[in-house]
Amino acid sequence: MTNNNKFPSLAIVGATGAVGKVCLDILAEKNYPAEKIKLFASERSAGKKISYNENDLIVYEADKNSFKESNVVFISADSEVSLYLAPAAVNSGALVIDDGSAFRMKKNVPLVVPEVNEDDIDFHEGIISIPNCTTTPLVMALDQLRKLSKIRRVHASTYQAVSGSGSLAVAELRDQTENILNNKEISKFVYPHQIAFSLIPQVDDFMEDWYTKEEHKMINETKKILHDYDLSISVTCVRVPVFYCHSEVVSVDFEEDVDVQEVVSLFSESDGIKLIGNGKNENYPTPSMVEGEDDIFIGRIRKDLSNNKGINFWLVSDNLRKGAALNAIQIMESAIKLGKIPNFDS
Ligand SMILES: NC(=O)c1ccc[n+]([C@@H]2O[C@H](COP(=O)([O-])OP(=O)(O)OC[C@H]3O[C@@H](n4cnc5c(N)ncnc54)[C@H](OP(=O)(O)O)[C@@H]3O)[C@@H](O)[C@H]2O)c1
């Protein structure tokens, strides 16, 4: 990695957050040159230093003029920040890769998981979104399964780690756990109920139809990424007292009979998917095994006992890596390959 012209100049907005930190870890693993990275966060973090491959990178307060020298701007902050800063970044000639939900369902914004719909990058007009961290592993699995038979119906239940709600939620689970073990009062800032030693069957706010926004995001994003707006899909999202990695139980009904062995063979050969176990013993993926891994992990594949054209399986993926930072970096790599970064020739 000697020719620095091969690397787009990056701005990372939200560099001090849960996703921003993992984004820097992954760039460091890839030896991305420090001089090509500029870090941004809110005014609270301005002046902080973050160490990166033996360099100290300074964090600047992000504003609309921050991106004049950037080819690619990763935004990992909340939706208001994306809505405020992304148009300015596009106007200054950069490609924005946004981790939040602000633009995901907009017609002119590709929503991309490179293993599934890399070609959608082609129609970007300056902004590309990454999906919700539960949608990404689900579409990777469904995209493979639809090669076996048309999918008639999908149901997924999630078991989502607290890091999916950002670094404050990680602190909340840690503090509640310590306090409960020491017989002290607990505080709640992020979640409406105690999360330590419990479960919360609510992720994000409720909507008119009694589903939550997170459940709607998974449903709508899955249809958009798979280009299958008729897909019949329902979802229940649950927050669990796990720090890192989201898990899902997925049931898929097909039009035709599908053999479990075919599913096993298909997943074993799919890019970005690791299959664990043979379904007969205690060998299957768990969140603690998958933390820090790039692939999504699948196990416990079996026939649905209530429907002989259905299968059930378990999947686990690192929400901060493939669910967020890694997917964003892979989108940038695909955009470089496809020549879709404005003002940048590799
Ligand atoms: N966590 C996940 O698993 C996951 C997965 C997929 C997508 N996402 C999305 O990624 C985004 C970030 O999530 P996160 O989990 O990393 O959250 P987080 O840990 O709470 O971090 C938020 C980041 O945003 C920065 N920020 C806040 N206000 C800002 C402002 N006005 N200008 C610039 N930066 C500002 C914060 O900087 P300060 O430190 O200065 O406050 C911090 O760096 C969210 O949109 C989330 O939906 C998260």
- Residues 262 and 142 both lie in one domain: yes
Of 23, 124, 237, 246, which is the active-site residue?
Answer: 246
- Residues 145 and 274 both lie in one domain: yes
Distance from Cα 13 to the centre of ligand 1, integer Å: 8
Ligand 1 pocket, 111 CB below 6 A?
no
Ligand 1 pocket, 163 CB below 6 A?
yes
- Residues 333 and 307 both lie in one domain: no
Q: Which atom of ligand 1 is nearest to the CA of 15?
A: 43
- Residues 118 and 150 both lie in one domain: no
Report the alpha-carbon angle 11-13-18, nearest 5: 125
Instruction: Specify if 342 maps to a domain.
Output: no
- Residues 91 and 145 both lie in one domain: no
pTM above 0.85, yes or no: yes
- Which structure tokens are listed for 233? 């899909």
- Residues 23 and 95 both lie in one domain: yes
User: Each residue of 243-265: pLDDT tens digit?
Assistant: 999 999 999 999 999 999 999 99
Instruction: Specify if 66 maps to a domain.
Output: yes
- Residues 13 and 90 both lie in one domain: yes
Contact 156, 218 (CB under 8 A): yes
User: What single DSSP character describes residue 163?
Assistant: G
Contact 203, 187 (CB under 8 A): no
- Which structure tokens are listed for 17? 């957050």
CATH number at residue 35: 3.40.50.720
Ligand 1 pocket, 299 CB below 6 A?
no
How many structural domains is the chain composed of?
2
Instruction: Specify if 92 maps to a domain.
Output: yes
User: Each residue of 100-123: pLDDT tens digit?
Assistant: 999 999 999 999 999 999 999 999
The answer for residues whose C-beta is within 8 angstroms of residue 63's C-beta and 6 or more apart is: 85
DSSP assignment of 70-126: -SEEEE-S-HHHHHHHHHHHHHTTPEEEE-SSSSTT-TTS-B--HHHHGGGGGG-SS
Ligand 1 pocket, 50 CB below 6 A?
no
- Residues 209 and 303 both lie in one domain: yes
- Residues 48 and 145 both lie in one domain: no
Ligand 1 pocket, 39 CB below 6 A?
no
Instruction: Specify if 187 maps to a domain.
Output: no
Q: Which domain covers residue 11, as residue numbers?
A: 4-131+324-337
Is 246 an active-site residue?
A: yes
Ligand 1 pocket, 62 CB below 6 A?
yes
**Beta bridge mates, 12:** 39, 74
Specify the length of the chain in residues. Answer: 346
Residues of the chain with pLDDT under 70: 1-3
End-to-end CA distance of the chain: 13
Distance from Cα 228 to the centre of ligand 1, integer Å: 30
- Residues 333 and 203 both lie in one domain: no
Question: Which of 99, 133, 244 for mutating ligand 1's site (highest number of atoms within 8 Å of CB)?
Answer: 99
Ligand 1 pocket, 71 CB below 6 A?
no
Distance from Cα 44 to the centre of ligand 1, integer Å: 13
Instruction: Specify if 192 maps to a domain.
Output: no
pLDDT computed for residue 331 by the predictor: 98
Ligand 1 pocket, 156 CB below 6 A?
no
Distance from Cα 62 to the centre of ligand 1, integer Å: 13
Is 227 an active-site residue?
A: no
pLDDT computed for residue 3 by the predictor: 62
- Residues 12 and 101 both lie in one domain: yes
- Residues 92 and 230 both lie in one domain: no
- Which structure tokens are listed for 298? 């699948």
Of 23, 124, 133, 245, which is the active-site residue?
Answer: 133
Nearest residue by C-alpha to atom 32 in ligand 1: 42
- Which structure tokens are listed for 151? 């999918």
C-alpha 159/C-alpha 315 separation (Å) is: 10
